[in-house]
Amino acid sequence: MRDFQSPGRSEAFGVNGMAATTHPLATLAAIDVLREGGNAIDAAVAAGAMLAVVEPTQTGVGGDCFVLLKREGQPVIALNGSGAAPSAASVERLAEAGVTTLDPESAHTVTVPGAVRTWARLAEDHGTLDLARLFAPAIAAAENGYPVAERLARDWARHMPKLSRLAATTSVFLHRGEAPAPGDLRAQPMLARTLRDVARQGADVFYEGWIAESIVKALRSLGGFHTVEDFAAFRPRYEKPISASYRGFELWECPPNGSGVAALAMASLLDRYNVADFAPVSVERYHLLAEIARIGYAERDAFVGDPDAGHVPVERMTSSARADILARRISPSGRLTDVTPITMPEHKDTVFLSVVDKDRTAVSFINSIFDDFGSGIVAPECGVLLHNRGFGFVLEPGHPNVLAGGKRPMHTILPAMLTRGGECVLSFGVTGGHFQPIGQIQVLSNLLDHRMSVQEAIDQPRIFARGDVLDVEATVPAKIVEGLRALGHLPTRASNPLGTAQAIWIDRRRGLLRGGADPRRDGIALGY
Please give the positions annotated as active site.
350
Q: For CA atoms 230, 196, 65, 251, give the dihedral sign.
A: negative
Give CA separation, 417 vs 169, 365, 371, 430, 508, in Å: 36, 10, 25, 12, 16
- The gap from C-alpha 154 to its chain's centroid, in whole angstroms, comes to 20
What is 144-172 written as a DSSP string? H-EEPPHHHHHHHHHTHHHHHSSHHHHHH
∠ CA 237-242-247, nearest 5°, is 150
Q: What is the three-state SS of 16-84? A: CCEEEECCHHHHHHHHHHHHCCCCHHHHHHHHHHHHHHHCCCCCCCCCEEEEEEECCCCCCEEEEECCC
Cα separation, 311 vs 317, in Å, equals 12
Q: For CA atoms 368, 369, 371, 373, give the dihedral sign.
A: negative
Q: Provide the strand spans (E) within 218-304.
A: 237-239, 242-246, 249-253
